[in-house]
Structures are given as structure tokens and as C-alpha cells.
A and B are shown apart, each in its own frame.
Chain A
Amino acid sequence: MFARRLGPTARLMIWLLAGLSCVVVDVRYQALDGLRSGFSLLLQPVREVTRAPVDVAAELTGFFTRHRLLQKERDALLAEQAQLLVGVNNANELARENAELRALLRLQARPGQQVVHAALLYQGHDWFAQRLTLDQGAGAGLRSGLPVVDADGLVGQVTRVYPGSSEVTLVSSAEQLTPVFVERTGQRGLAAGSGHGQLELRYMPSHTDLRPGDRLMTSGIDRVYPAGIPVATVTRVSRSQSSPYLRVDCLPLAGLDRSRGVLVLIAAPQVTTR
């Protein structure tokens, strides 16, 4: 056969060429998304099956939780609910007032939001960008660019969508940028992932008022993330002689490697455009 007669070095060269063209086609032209969808259809059932034992174990431990513990948890939840109700009443009042004021100012109402629950299907192992795979995809109305949050804060952004699953690039992934503002001062900035599960607030002039413990929220000026989602807390602020900017290390608030269930926020299409 033809292939048999070629030496290993020649065959290596042919395959290397094929591999390099794959890289180029994928990076430059993003032309291999069909192949990705195919693989996702192939592997989705396998992943569902391999996740099952973990889910069953979680269910079982939940089933055997002690009665006492449940009671305690219920009491705590009731107390929390009472507190939240107070907060909700307050918020309703504020929302009404806000709506009136916006009407007065003739501002566009903020688009409503729809939420899709998704569970973690698989955690990717790419060394150059941290990603999660969720068990909801295009079928649930997901599209790339949507923000993903959990109970504590921003998890990341949907970057690839397949029929039954989707990939989320984490907020701490290298070179992932998030426009934020400092909750205490309102100072806007740009948070970039470091790739080590941390974030870095970039381009903050050295006289900026920043302290460890400050919370960063999404500023919403990019029209990707809605404003006011907690992103990270500042852990360390250091000045350097050589750079005009502060070096600000932050820790993401969302449980990037803990949460198993997340929410994808789907902004409803804007109704009025003036």
C-alpha cells in the first residue's frame, strides 16, 4: 500500500501538516464549529452517563441527612426568607419609584431578563483558557456571549453553543476581560483573568482609592453583562516604581470550581428603540 511504503518520518510530516492546517483553519477562520458540534453530539450521552454516579451519590447523601439538621436548616431558611421579604418590599418600592423617575427622564426601560438553569456537565482541562461545559445548549435558547452567574456572582460567559450543551469561559480565564466598577467608590475599570483562578484589575492609576476588601461589580457599559452582578473582591493592592498603574489582585466571588448549578441570563430583546 501507498501509506505502508512511506517511512515514519514522511508520515509524521504529512500528519503534522494536517494538524497545523487544523490549527490555522480553527484559529483564523473559525471554520471547524461543525466538527465541534459533531463531537458534542457524540460525547454528550457519555458525559451524561458518567455524571450519573456522582449525582446518585449526592442524592443518597441528601436522603440520609438527619432530621435534626433539616429542621435547623428550615428554621434558618425561614428567618432568611423573612429578611428577604423585607428587602423585596423595599426593592419593589424602589423599582416603582425608579420606573417613574425613568419615565420622567424619558430613559429607555432596562430590558427584562429570562433565566435558564444549567448544571455543570464537564470541566475542561485546557491550559490556555478555563472552561466549563453546561448541560443546556441552543435548544434552551442559549447563544454565545450570554453571561453566566451563580448564587455568589459572575461565573463567566457562554462562548460556544452546541445543540444540547454549551461551553462557558470562566471570568478568571486568561485574557477574559470584564468591565467592572468598584462598589465603594464607583470607579470604573477592567478586570482581566489571570489564568490561576484569580483576576487582576487593570489600568488603575496609582492614586486610585482602592483597598483590600472592596467589591467589584459588573458596570454594564459593555452591554454584555447586566450592571450590578458581583464579580470579585480585591485581595491585594500594590504600587510599583516602574509602572504608572496599580497592581490589583482580586479573587472571584462565584464558586468557579465549586458550583454545580448555574444560571444563564438571557436578556429579552429590547422592545423600544428611540
Chain B
Amino acid sequence: MNVSVHAAGSWRRIFGTLALAVLLEQLPWSGWALIARPDFVLVGVLFWALHQPTRVGFATAFFLGLLADFQDGAVFGQHAIAYVIGVYLVLYLRLRLLQFDPSRQAAQMFPILLGVQFAVLLIGWLAVNPPTGLGILIPVLSSTVLWYLVALFVRLLHGKGAQDRA
């Protein structure tokens, strides 16, 4: 899987998926959809950090984190720090993550995504206000589901998933 994605992971594809992720976050989400919205950009960054660590790494994560900070109107650096921590965790567990099938990989990603969201929570707490609830942890679940779908899609796309999954 790693090899095939490696060959396919051109700059254009990386840029396209990350731009799509940013675009999805710009949609006028509201109400429950907003609360449960997965963090598309984070999933995109971590996906490429896993599959293309030489191309997408700390710098991309940091810049997209600043962008996320802007669009939420949050303190600059809040998401940037969290995304950088996420990339570090993915790089640390990289070889291990690449061995799993999509569902197990998603299960392994859950604690990483949780750690990222805890970093957001902690920085917001220290810099702005105490948090007003644990709703901040809901996107972790939806992001995990999104990761599963993305991983499954990539598997099927490269023709290896069908028998693995059965």
C-alpha cells in the first residue's frame, strides 16, 4: 500500500486534497453539523504526514494550523501547536500505523486525534477562557470515522482492499 501511494502522491495530489479539506471547512456549517464536524484539514495533514513524510511535515501542519486558527477566530498558534503535535505522533508511530488495515488504523488514530484536541483545549484554556464543556471532544469521533473512510477509499482505489477486508 505504501509503495502505490508513494508513486501516486504527487505534489498536485497533495495540494488538491489539502485545498479540498480547507474548502470543506469553509462551508457554512451551523448547529449540530458544526459541533460534530470532523477536522478535515487535520485528517488531511496527518494522512499525508503518514504517507509522504518527506513532503508534508511540521511546516505544512503549522501553516494550516494558523489558517484553522484564523477561521475559528481563535488565538493564533492554538491549532498550529496542536497540528504539529499530531504530526509528531504520526511520525513516531508511522511504521506501526502503515501495517494496519483501515479499521485498525482508525482505531490507532483515535488517541492521536484525541491528543491533538486536548492540546487545542489546553492552549485555549491557558490563553483565553476556561472551557465551557467537553463538546470539544466530539470532533475526535467524527475525525476518526473520516480517517477510516479515507483509508478505506485509498485501499479500494489501489485495488488491495477487497480481499483484505473480507
Contacts and interface: CB of A to CB of B under 8 A. Distances in A.
A22 B128 contact: no
A68 interface: no
Please tell me the size bucket of the interface on A: 35 or more
B46 interface: no
A65 to B, nearest CB: 22
Contacts of B75: 23, 26-27
Nearest to B35: A125
Interface stretch (B83-91, B99-107, B158-166): B83-91
Contacts of B127: 23, 27
Given A19-B80, A23-B123, A126 B28 contact: no
Please indicate which of the listed interface residues B27, B37, B65, B131 has the most CB atoms of chain A within 10 Å of its own CB. Answer: B27
Contacts of A141: none
Nearest to B72: A126
Contacts of A15: 58-59, 61-62, 80-81, 84
A22 B133 contact: no
Contact of A12 (B34, B88, B129): B88
A123 B34 contact: yes
Interface of B: 22-23, 26-31, 34, 37, 57-59, 61-62, 65-67, 70-78, 80-81, 84-85, 88, 91-92, 120-121, 123-125, 127-133, 135-136
A39 interface: yes
B72 A50 contact: no
20 contacts: A9-B88, A19-B62, A22-B80, A23-B81, A23-B127, A25-B76, A27-B127, A27-B128, A35-B66, A46-B22, A47-B26, A122-B26, A123-B30, A124-B73, A126-B124, A128-B129, A129-B73, A131-B72, A131-B73, A174-B130
SS class, residues of chain B in contact with chain A: helix
Interface string A46-69: 110011001000000000000000
Please indicate which of the listed interface residues B62, B71, B76, B92 has the most CB atoms of chain A within 10 Å of its own CB. Answer: B76
B81 A19 contact: yes
A123 B31 CA distance: 9
B71 A32 contact: no
A21 to B, nearest CB: 8
Contacts of B28: 47, 50-51, 54, 120-123
B119 to A, nearest CB: 10
Contacts, number: 132
Nearest to A120: B28
A128 B131 contact: yes
Nearest to A8: B91
A78 interface: no
A264 to B, nearest CB: 17
A146 to B, nearest CB: 17
Contacts of A189: none
Contacts of B80: 15, 18-19, 22
A47 B76 CA distance: 20
B23 A46 contact: yes
B74 A39 contact: no
Nearest to B25: A125
B131 A16 contact: no
Contact of B128 (A11, A20, A125, A128): A128
Given A36-B70, A43-B70, A20 B23 contact: no
A23 B77 contact: yes
A37 to B, nearest CB: 10
A2 interface: no
Given A14-B58, A131-B72, 14 more contacts: A12-B85, A15-B58, A15-B80, A18-B62, A19-B80, A26-B75, A35-B76, A43-B67, A46-B22, A123-B30, A124-B71, A125-B37, A127-B131, A128-B125
A270 B76 CA distance: 36
Contact of A129 (B77, B84, B128): B128
Please indicate which of the listed interface residues A12, A15, A32 has the most CB atoms of chain B within 10 Å of its own CB. Answer: A15
A124 B77 contact: no
Contacts of B129: 128-129, 174-175, 195
A39 B67 contact: yes
A121 B29 CA distance: 10
